[in-house]
């Protein structure tokens, strides 16, 4: 039974369990998020991170049997270690990815093992401390209740509040600070039991100072790491609920990166976007209603607006931070010719898959400009289910065009996209263009009628002319069609195929 004198201690320790559980889950989620950014395939990364973390917690719980005396002192020290290692985990991994990318995976799993082991020690020690004053029946139920509540709170706050407003580095440091605060609270609660009170107090003070310094300098840490990783100076960076956006600027102009992957380079993006848009738009003849799925930078919209027949452009982009950035930032809006402010353009910030399920609109041309299928959440936008939805919203005389990765470096992936589009009954016309920043890049035209070479293109294009368009549809032997499977929601073969091919292509 809990005595009146011991009740404040029990309440304080149970509150600590809540904080400890919240902090532990934050470190786990931060490691998984960073692994998915750097290594791709979010399902694989989160699965292996969670498995490693849970194994390490079990190891920590087993090791707790060897702590027999001075339990409050051991608990305090472990809290300080968790605060330092867990709190610094995102910052350390950011820096490691910039300076020693080859060691990133080893460091990632080493830190996850260490933090998980330390977190696994925490709860058993708390329970053994509480056991002195609380009946076993109440002890187990109360500790587990607060543990699960802490995990629930963080699982909701992490994607919706913490990462969008603080970023991964500050989020880690903030929760490290909270772990250190629990240690400081334990220092006060058990001040009469601790043998070296001054040494413990000094350790708490130094830990809090280090974490506070890191929190204040988090932007500087991130900027140094990103400048090193991206080579050019990062002029804008943001962590949104959906991705990390980084814009750099150097001698060749601006570059956009999403989760570390290059999306465009200012000096040659016109080649990509002219190739993406004009073979479909010009072949249609007089497109009036056009949809752009993805392409939140507005570059594809810029090319579409070169056709006088266009009356309405609907841009469907999941991340409002992307469309806001390329609408409101003067330097970036200039790149798309302020296309996102055109009265003809309507921006819809939602998931393209869901939007196609809900809208009833029919379009003359649909431009599909998603990032490459690096994970299953993007991979669903390359499945036959998605293309079947797309077909429902394409006019009988309309065309869709899909950016489809490199037919040279990811040949099997490219033809898998072609095969998947054809599986829903659409006719395809695959083609490719050379974009120096990417190399040979592939696209697939699709429609219910055969594609025909356009007779004219808008004036002022820098890359394409009518004769040049015909050459895009000629595939040399090393990019020619190969047998491929259909990419389905139930198997998502494309994601694993893409990862394997691009993994081999990296030097």
Would you say 280 and 443 are in contact if contact means Cβ atoms under 8 Å apart?
Answer: no
Q: Name which of 11, 184, 225, 214 is nearest 97 in CA terms.
A: 225
> Using CA atoms in the order 406, 409, 413, 414, what is the torsion angle rounded to 10 degrees?
30
Distance CA 21, CA 17 (A): 6
Starting at the earlier edge strand, list the strands of the sheet with 312-316: 345-348, 312-316, 289-294, 363-369, 394-403, 439-447, 427-435
**CA 278 – CA 501 distance, rounded (Å):** 29
Rounded Cα distance between 87 and 81, Å, is 9
The helix or strand, by DSSP H or E, that contains position 289, with its residue range, turns out to be strand 289-294
List, as one string, the DSSP characters of 82-136. Answer: HHHHHHHHHHHHHHHHHH-GGGHHHHHHHHHHHHHHHHHHHHHHHHHHHTTTS-H
Tell me how far apart the alpha carbons of residues 352 and 315 are, in angstroms, rounded to a whole number: 10
Active-site pick, 369, 372, 391, 474: 369
Strands 427-435 and 439-447: antiparallel
The CA distance from 353 to 300, in Å, is 19
The tokens for 230 are 């991206």
Q: Which helix (H) or strand (E) holds 150?
A: helix 136-157
232 is catalytic: no
Write the DSSP string, 339-354.
GGG-TTEEEE-S-HHH
Distance CA 477, CA 486 (A): 22
Residue positions annotated with a catalytic role: 369
């Amino acid at each position: 039974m809990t005595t009146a004198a011991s009740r404040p201690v029990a309440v304080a320790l149970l509150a600590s369990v809540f904080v400890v559980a919240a902090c532990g889950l934050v470190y786990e989620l931060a490691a998984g998020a960073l692994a998915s950014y750097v290594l791709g395939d979010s399902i694989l990364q989160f699965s292996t991170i969670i498995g490693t973390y849970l194994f390490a917690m079990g190891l920590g719980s087993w090791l707790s049997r060897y702590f027999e005396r001075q339990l409050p002192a051991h608990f305090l020290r472990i809290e300080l270690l968790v605060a330092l290692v867990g709190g610094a985990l995102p910052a350390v991994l950011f820096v490691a990815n910039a300076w020693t990318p080859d060691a990133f995976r080893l460091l990632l799993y080493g830190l996850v093992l260490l933090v998980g082991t330390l977190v696994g020690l925490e709860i058993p020690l708390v329970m053994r401390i509480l056991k002195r004053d609380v009946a076993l029946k109440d002890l187990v139920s109360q500790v587990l209740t607060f543990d699960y509540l802490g995990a629930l709170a963080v699982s909701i706050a992490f994607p919706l509040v913490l990462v969008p407003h603080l970023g991964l580095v500050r989020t880690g440091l903030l929760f490290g600070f909270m772990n250190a605060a629990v240690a400081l609270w334990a220092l006060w609660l058990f001040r009469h039991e601790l043998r070296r009170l001054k040494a413990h107090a000094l350790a708490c003070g130094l830990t809090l100072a280090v974490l506070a310094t890191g929190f204040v300098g988090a932007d500087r840490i991130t900027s140094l790491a990103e400048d090193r990783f991206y080579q050019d100076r990062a002029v804008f960076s943001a962590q949104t609920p959906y991705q990390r956006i980084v814009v750099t600027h150097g001698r060749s102009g601006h570059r956009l990166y999403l989760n570390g992957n290059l999306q465009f380079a200012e000096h040659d993006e016109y080649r990509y976007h002219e190739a993406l848009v004009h073979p479909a738009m010009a072949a249609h003849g007089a497109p009036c209603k056009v949809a752009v799925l993805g392409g939140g930078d507005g570059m594809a919209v810029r090319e579409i607006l070169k056709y006088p027949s266009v009356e309405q452009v609907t841009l469907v982009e999941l991340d409002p931070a992307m469309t806001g950035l390329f609408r409101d930032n003067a330097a970036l809006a200039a790149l798309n010719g302020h296309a996102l402010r055109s009265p003809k353009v309507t921006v819809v910030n939602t998931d393209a898959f869901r939007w196609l399920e809900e809208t009833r609109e029919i379009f003359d041309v649909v431009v599909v400009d998603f990032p490459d299928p690096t994970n299953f959440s993007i991979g669903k936008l390359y499945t036959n289910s998605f293309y079947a939805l797309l077909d429902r919203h394409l006019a009988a005389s309309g065309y869709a065009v899909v950016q489809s990765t490199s037919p040279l470096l990811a040949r099997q992936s490219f033809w898998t996209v072609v095969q998947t589009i054809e599986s829903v009954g659409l006719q395809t016309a695959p083609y490719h263009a050379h974009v120096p920043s990417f190399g040979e890049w592939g696209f697939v035209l699709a429609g219910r009628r055969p594609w025909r070479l356009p007779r004219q293109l808008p004036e002022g294009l820098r890359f394409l002319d009518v004769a040049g368009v015909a050459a895009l549809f000629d595939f040399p032997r090393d990019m020619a069609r190969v047998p491929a499977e259909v990419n389905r929601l139930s198997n998502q073969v494309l994601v694993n195929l893409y990862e394997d091919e691009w993994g081999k292509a990296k030097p």
